[in-house]
């Protein structure tokens, strides 16, 4: 294990923001992770775990030990006629896992194709797309505690998964580094194609009884047409969460914005489309100096040529103010912001 001092992170975050980590280490195994955590404790350093940096805003230098989790591994740990349990290491690429599981005949992840980032980062924000959330497949999340390098195993219910949320964004924020996930996948196809964009794509392409591969291909096509590729247009996916409202809040928004796209939730609340609100406020495709709002999807902020994450946050603040004036709703930033302390 080699600890690097003053490591530039610009190539290690999908928004391509400039930030220097006081200390940085790449870990390829649990043993290396233990060594890194011990180094952090001995040097009284705050620990920040980083995967592919696809859901972070680095708004300044990081006075911390940044641990890049690169540990690889996929293992079948249980199997019966109908299901399979996979243990997948945190450093694996998410989309590669989706492709591989489909090729093995392990179904369920196809709606989550093409989401940037690592397996270890996936449970933190409970990645979700096209009507499916990661939480439906998680049996447990394994991690090491930062304070003692103690092995932790959290069941799905202990992870407190919710829309773009988990215990790793709350009580356990920065308290542990995720090492692997146990995922339960099905050997029988069980396609989920009710999400409006997905349903209409399949209809337009005359796919009446979609297979998991059809879903995978459709999701890849939809995402590629609407969301910018971080490799060519730096971004962090959706920059804001869709607000989830109780009945009174929803009624009051409807008075101001009667045609807002909305989705009833299982708990009786209603999720409303933040991208629509941002578009109504005239921000879609807007460019402010070196940062802007994507022209195909107003929920995505893009970095044209900016080193400073604070500029992007200033744009996000302006957008939040417009949306508040228009609808009375307070948008919440989705990616994790580091470097403002």
User: Any idea which residues carry the catalytic annotation?
Assistant: 164, 238, 334
d(CA 314, CA 128): 27
Binds ligand EPU (CB under 6 A): choice among 299, 301, 306, 329: 299
Q: Which of the stretches 21-29, 90-98, 102-110, 237-245 binds ligand EPU when contact is defined by CB under 6 A?
A: 237-245
* 275 is a contact residue toward ligand EPU (CB under 6 A): yes
Buried b (16+ CB within 10 A) or exposed e, 10-38: eebbbbbbbbbbbbbbbbebbebbbbbbe
* 238 is a contact residue toward ligand EPU (CB under 6 A): yes
* CB 199 to ligand EPU: min, Å: 11
Q: Which of the stretches 45-53, 65-73, 178-186, 270-278 binds ligand EPU when contact is defined by CB under 6 A?
A: 270-278
* 242 is a contact residue toward ligand EPU (CB under 6 A): yes
Nearer Cβ to ligand EPU (83/197): 197
List the structure tokens of 265: 């939730």
Query: Binding string to ligand EPU for residues 112 to 141, with x set by CB under 6 A, is what?
Result: -----------------xx-----------
d(CA 38, CA 147): 9
d(CA 243, CA 195): 18
* 297 is a contact residue toward ligand EPU (CB under 6 A): yes
Q: How many CB atoms lie within 10 A of CB 279?
A: 16
Supply φ then ψ for residue 278, to 5 degrees.
-65, -40
Rounded to the nearest 5 degrees, what angle is found at the Cα of 331, between the Cα atoms of 330 and 334? 150
| Residue nearest to ligand EPU according to CB distances in the complex | 237
* 241 is a contact residue toward ligand EPU (CB under 6 A): yes
* CB 273 to ligand EPU: min, Å: 3
List the structure tokens of 154: 């959290």
Q: Classify 213 as helix, strand or coil.
A: helix
Supply φ then ψ for residue 329, to 5 degrees.
-100, 140
Q: Which of the stretches 57-65, 91-99, 268-276, 311-319 binds ligand EPU when contact is defined by CB under 6 A?
A: 268-276
* Residue in the structure block whose two tokens are 């991208």: 275
Q: How many CB atoms lie within 10 A of CB 290?
A: 15
* 94 is a contact residue toward ligand EPU (CB under 6 A): no
Query: Binding string to ligand EPU for residues 170 to 199, with x set by CB under 6 A, is what?
Result: ---------------------------x--
Nearer Cβ to ligand EPU (12/284): 284
* CB 309 to ligand EPU: min, Å: 17
Binds ligand EPU (CB under 6 A): choice among 273, 286, 333, 337: 273
Pairing of strands 287-288, 74-79: unpaired
Beta strands in the chain (DSSP E): 4-8, 20-27, 47-50, 56-58, 62-69, 74-79, 83-89, 128-129, 132-133, 138-145, 151-155, 176-186, 235-238, 244-245, 262-264, 270-272, 287-288, 291-293, 300-303, 336-338
Nearer Cβ to ligand EPU (24/94): 94
- Contacts with ligand EPU in 308-337 (CB under 6 A)? 334
List the structure tokens of 291: 């940062």
* CB 81 to ligand EPU: min, Å: 31
| Number of residues in contact with ligand EPU under rule CB under 6 A | 19
Residues that bind ligand EPU (CB under 6 A): 129-130, 164, 197, 227, 237-238, 241-242, 261, 273, 275-276, 279, 284, 297-299, 334
């Amino acid at each position: 294990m080699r600890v690097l001092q003053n490591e530039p992170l610009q190539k290690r975050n999908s928004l391509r923001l400039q930030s220097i980590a006081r200390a940085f280490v790449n870990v390829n195994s649990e043993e290396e992770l233990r060594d890194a955590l011990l180094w952090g404790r001995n040097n009284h350093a705050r620990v920040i775990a980083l995967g592919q940096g696809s859901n972070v805003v680095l708004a300044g230098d990081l006075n911390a030990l940044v641990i890049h989790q690169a540990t690889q591994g996929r293992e079948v740990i249980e199997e019966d006629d109908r299901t399979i349990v996979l243990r997948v290491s945190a450093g694996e690429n998410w989309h590669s896992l989706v492709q591989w599981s489909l090729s093995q005949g392990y179904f369920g992840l196809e709606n989550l194709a093409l989401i940037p980032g690592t397996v270890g980062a996936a449970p933190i924000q409970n990645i979700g797309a096209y009507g499916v959330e990661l939480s439906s497949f998680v049996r447990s999340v394994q991690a090491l505690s930062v304070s003692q390098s103690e092995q932790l195993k959290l069941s799905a219910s202990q992870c407190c998964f919710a829309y773009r949320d988990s215990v790793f964004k709350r009580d356990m924020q920065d308290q542990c580094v995720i090492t692997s996930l146990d995922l339960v996948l099905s050997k029988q196809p069980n396609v989920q194609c009710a999400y409006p964009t997905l349903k209409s794509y399949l209809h337009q392409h005359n796919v009446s009884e979609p297979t998991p591969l059809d879903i995978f291909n459709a999701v890849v096509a939809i995402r590629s047409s609407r969301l910018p590729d971080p490799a060519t247009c730096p971004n962090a996916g959706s920059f804001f969460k869709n607000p989830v409202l109780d009945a009174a809040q929803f009624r009051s928004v409807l008075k101001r914005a009667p045609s807002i796209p909305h989705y009833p939730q299982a708990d009786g609340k209603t999720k409303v489309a933040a991208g629509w609100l941002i578009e109504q406020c005239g921000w879609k495709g807007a460019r402010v100096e070196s940062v802007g709002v994507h022209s195909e999807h107003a929920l995505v902020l893009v970095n044209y040529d900016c080193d400073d994450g604070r500029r992007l946050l200033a744009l996000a603040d302006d957008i939040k103010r417009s949306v508040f004036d228009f609808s009375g709703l307070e948008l919440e930033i989705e990616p994790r912001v580091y470097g403002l302390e």
